[in-house]
């Protein structure tokens, strides 16, 4: 069963209920963020990177710690090509099912794996996207308490169930607007199509006048709007 029609409704309900999460960028500028979850994958991620390179697009990757440890050189390549990197947990375990110590351990192991592979300062690895998009208020409380920044989404085309590349592209194009935060997948579920999806989607978004940015830029804009010092630099 596919739930794609429900995600726009969930977004409209959850965004005002949980303002501590990053859901979108500014609506004032035609900028959007392409984000990819569940990698790195030894086949799908390199295919995707070639497409992003061709269009000179910077994206954001939420990496799994266990995949980073299996493919550290690939994680390093993602970083070296100028893409922003965030945390997706060590394993793809839903955060509400973890105890607070288990959740913190998952994030710290995820953080250390990426920092080691990419030679990034731990303090620059603070953006967290919960696997499956699942959280409860206590989850967010802990994430903020531990000085991480929860990142969600505004456009979810449900690519992981592989409804067809044209379907995924059509879902994105029907929902995208200024500040959209789009989530796709380059892992074992959905990654089979991610390069072709990006190859079809990106030029159409460019034709509409959208500029591509990364999660750190959205976070910086958010901090400036709130007059809160940005701690990521």
Is-contact 220 27, C-beta < 8 A?
no
Q: Give pairs for 48-56: CB < 8 Å, separation 24+.
A: 48/186, 48/191, 48/194, 48/195, 48/198, 49/77, 49/78, 49/81, 50/195, 51/195, 51/198, 51/199, 51/202, 52/81, 52/83, 52/198, 53/81, 55/202, 55/203, 55/206
CB atoms within 10 A of CB 213: 22
At 183, which helix (H) or strand (E)?
Answer: strand 181-185
Respond yes or no on whether the N-terminal peptide bond of residue 3 is cis (omega within 30° of 0): no
Q: H/E element holding 11? A: helix 7-17
Rg over CA atoms, the chain: 16
The strand pairing partners of 127, in sequence order, are 149
Q: Write out the catalytic residue numbers.
A: 37, 185
47 contacts 194 by C-beta, under 8 angstroms: yes
């Amino acid at each position: 069963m596919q739930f794609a029609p429900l995600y726009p409704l969930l977004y409209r309900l959850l965004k005002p209920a949980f303002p501590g999460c990053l859901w979108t960028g500014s609506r004032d500028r035609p900028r959007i963020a392409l984000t990819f979850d569940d990698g790195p994958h030894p086949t799908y991620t390199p295919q995707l990177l070639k497409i992003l390179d061709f269009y000179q697009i910077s994206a954001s990757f939420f990496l799994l710690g266990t995949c980073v440890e299996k493919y550290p050189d690939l994680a390093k390549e993602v970083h070296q090509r100028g893409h922003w990197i965030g945390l997706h947990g060590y394993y793809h375990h839903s955060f509400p099912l973890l105890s607070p110590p288990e959740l913190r351990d998952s994030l710290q192991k995820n953080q250390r794996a990426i920092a080691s592979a990419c030679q990034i300062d731990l303090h620059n690895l603070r953006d967290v996207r919960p696997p499956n998009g699942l959280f409860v208020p206590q989850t967010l409380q802990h994430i903020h308490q531990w000085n991480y920044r929860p990142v969600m989404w505004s456009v979810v085309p449900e690519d992981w169930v592989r409804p067809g590349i044209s379907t995924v592209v059509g879902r994105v194009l029907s929902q995208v607007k200024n500040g959209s935060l789009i989530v796709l997948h380059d892992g074992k579920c959905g990654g089979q199509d991610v390069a072709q999806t990006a190859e079809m989607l990106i030029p159409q978004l460019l034709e509409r006048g959208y500029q591509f940015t990364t999660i750190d830029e959205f976070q910086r804009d958010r901090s400036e709007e709130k007059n809160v010092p940005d701690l990521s630099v």
